[in-house]
Amino acid sequence: MDHIKNSLHKLHSAALMIGFAKNSSGKDEEIRLYRQSALVFLKLALQAYLLELSDHYAASFHTEQITLETLSEHLEKHRIPSPELKELLALKSDVHSWLARLEQSYKDFFFQSYPEPSNQSPLLAFKTTTESEFNQHLSIQELENWHQALNDIAARHRQQLLEW
């Protein structure tokens, strides 16, 4: 039950950040920060949702250990079927799906390696690159769509697990 509350809290926080970005006074830096925060909260909500599934299937994972792949491998190893994970894995494997785009945006923004600049400090190059790339491909509408999709799939799966 704690992981359910945690994922709901993260989804709510993402919704707040998206709302702040939409209602911002138009300052680019402020909007960018809200969008970044929304992306982080969506990723954390996904991770909390995976912990919900982990609890349901009695697979003990710590927050920092769980990924879609590690949970799937664990359940396969123990021959435990999970239609929820099957659906999530299918979404992640489709590069055009909301889940694949969410994962890729998070990875690109926080873990992408950048070429060493020749005449700039690494910090300046990182800041310039991440701001421009982040602003080019991630809209508030897309964040809203991801939020709605994650919220819907988690709610539907929770309902199915209760009925099961």
Top-confidence residue, 55 or 113: 55
Q: Is the pLDDT of residue 139 over 70?
A: yes
At 152 the pLDDT is 95
Place of tokens 């949702």: 49
At 129 the pLDDT is 45
At 94 the pLDDT is 97
What residue type is 140 in one-letter code? I
CA 114, 115, 121, 127 dihedral sign is: negative
Q: Tell me if the pTM is above 0.85.
A: no
| 66-116 residue pLDDT tens | 889 999 999 999 999 999 999 999 999 999 999 999 999 998 887 765 555
What b/e string do you get for 96-115 counting C-beta neighbours within 10 Å, with b at 16 or more?
eebbebbbebbeebeeeeee
